[in-house]
A and B are shown apart, each in its own frame.
Chain A
Amino acid sequence: MHELSLCQSVIETLQRESLQHHYQRVKRVRLEIGPFATVDEEALRFAFEVARSETLAEGAELEIIRSEARARCRSCSNSFAITERFDPCPLCASHELELLSGEELRIVDLQVE
């Protein structure tokens, strides 16, 4: 359940940014989570409810954008979408892949007032 520490870190960021961007409340947070970000979405939603209480994000909505994982094959240079880390290259079956995306764990934007 490291999702709780991730959410606490999101809340800390919201508090820090509130000083710079001058807002009192956060209404919605959008996160981008890659399929290989080691995050369970259900656990993250539950942890967010715990972490947001009695903070400036109390009651804030959590929106999660699931990004796509893409890889490039080192053998044949083909670039393609993958669903598992152990997927082979669909063209040449090699496992020598370079991950191009899929580990994102990012706060995209906030709706504030």
Chain B
Amino acid sequence: MAEGHGDHHHHHHGEERLIRLEQDILSKNNEYAAANRRWLSERNILALNLLSSPGSGKTTLLTRTIEALRGKLPITVIEGDQQTDNDAQKIRQTGAAVQQINTGKGCHLDGHMVGHALESLQPPSGSLLFIENVGNLVCPAAFDLGEAYRVVILSVTEGEDKPIKYPDIFASADLLLLNKLDLLPHLQFDVEQCIDYARRVNPRIKVLQLSATSGEGMDSWYQWLSATRQLAEIGQ
């Protein structure tokens, strides 16, 4: 190769130099997320990014929510899992449209994957879209998907100190659902302490206590969903 061939910067090959980039590593993901957000808002779709550890009861919460809101609000689901479509099948049985994303070894969903899922799923205008992220309280925190709100689900069978053990995910969440409340009598889980920890990390976080199995507290969750959807509509 000729030295400096057509290169208006006239840099000779083999010559070392410093290039200042000052570029956000997540900028590409953020571009995909922004495109998703635009696409969703044009169609007046409320998208929620659901985050939790494995086994927090996310899928039960989703199936119960879909059944409770049937006929009131169209709901579609993007289901992220490393392997299998077991959860997607459970949700499909409720009649809701589901798009599965198998991330393989990937520990989180990203904006690009969700963009493709939206194209296949084609959620209807004015609907509610649940994006069930991979069960993991660390990695998904960094990746914006284009959602309107982030919802963390924590079950009382886990430690009450999870909000301070995994502060990044709680800091970025809008709503905390404290699930499996029906098991509380059998456990030593300090609800007040857990909420206090969550508020130390994120003073704005809203907390709802519920049980997707017994149905206790689920009405306040449905109210939050419908109020949030109305707010989103007014915001258009």
Chain A interface residues (CB < 8 Å from chain B): 1-2, 5-6, 9-10, 12-13, 17, 21-24, 27, 31, 36-39, 84-86, 88, 95-97, 99, 105-113
Q: Contact between A38 and B9 (Cβ–Cβ < 8 Å)?
A: no
B192 within 8 A of A: no
From B18, B28, B108, B164, A2 is in contact (CB under 8 Å) with B108
Using a CB–CB cutoff of 8 Å, the interface residues on chain B facing chain A are 7, 9, 11, 13-29, 105-108, 110, 138-139, 141-143, 163-164, 167-168, 171, 197, 199-201, 203
* Secondary structure class of chain B's binding surface, majority of residues: mixed
In the bound assembly, the distance between CA atoms of A110 and B167 in angstroms comes to 31
Give Cα A31–Cα B108 distance, bound, in whole angstroms: 22
24 contacts between A and B (CB under 8 A): A1-B107, A2-B107, A2-B139, A5-B110, A9-B26, A10-B25, A13-B25, A17-B21, A21-B19, A23-B17, A36-B168, A38-B139, A38-B141, A38-B142, A84-B164, A95-B200, A99-B171, A107-B21, A108-B20, A108-B22, A109-B19, A111-B16, A113-B13, A113-B16
Give CA–CA (A105, B29) in the complex, Å.
13
User: Which A residues are CB-close (under 8 A) to B11?
Assistant: 22-23
Most buried by B among A12, A22, A97, A105: A22
Nearest CB to that of B8 among chain A residues? A22
Distance of A31 Cα from B21 Cα, bound (Å):
10
Q: Determine the chain B residues whose CB is within 8 A of the CB of A113 once the complex forms.
A: 13-17
The reply to whether A112 and B167 contact each other, CB–CB distance below 8 Å, is no
Cα–Cα, bound, A12→B226 (Å): 41
Q: Return chain A residues, CB-CB under 8 Å to B16.
A: 27, 111-113
Residues of B within 8 A of A22 (CB): 7, 9, 11
Total cross-chain contacts (CB, 8 A)? 107
Known contacts A24-B13, A38-B168: A110-B21 contact under CB 8 Å: yes
Whether B108 and A105, one on each chain, are in contact in the complex, defined by CB atoms closer than 8 angstroms, is no
Lowest 6 CB-CB distances: which A-B pairs, in order? A2-B139, A85-B167, A86-B200, A38-B168, A109-B20, A95-B200
Not counting A2-B139, A109-B22, a sample of 13 additional A-B residue pairs whose C-beta atoms are within 8 angstroms of each other reads A1-B139, A9-B25, A10-B25, A17-B19, A22-B9, A36-B171, A38-B168, A86-B163, A86-B197, A109-B19, A109-B20, A113-B14, A113-B16
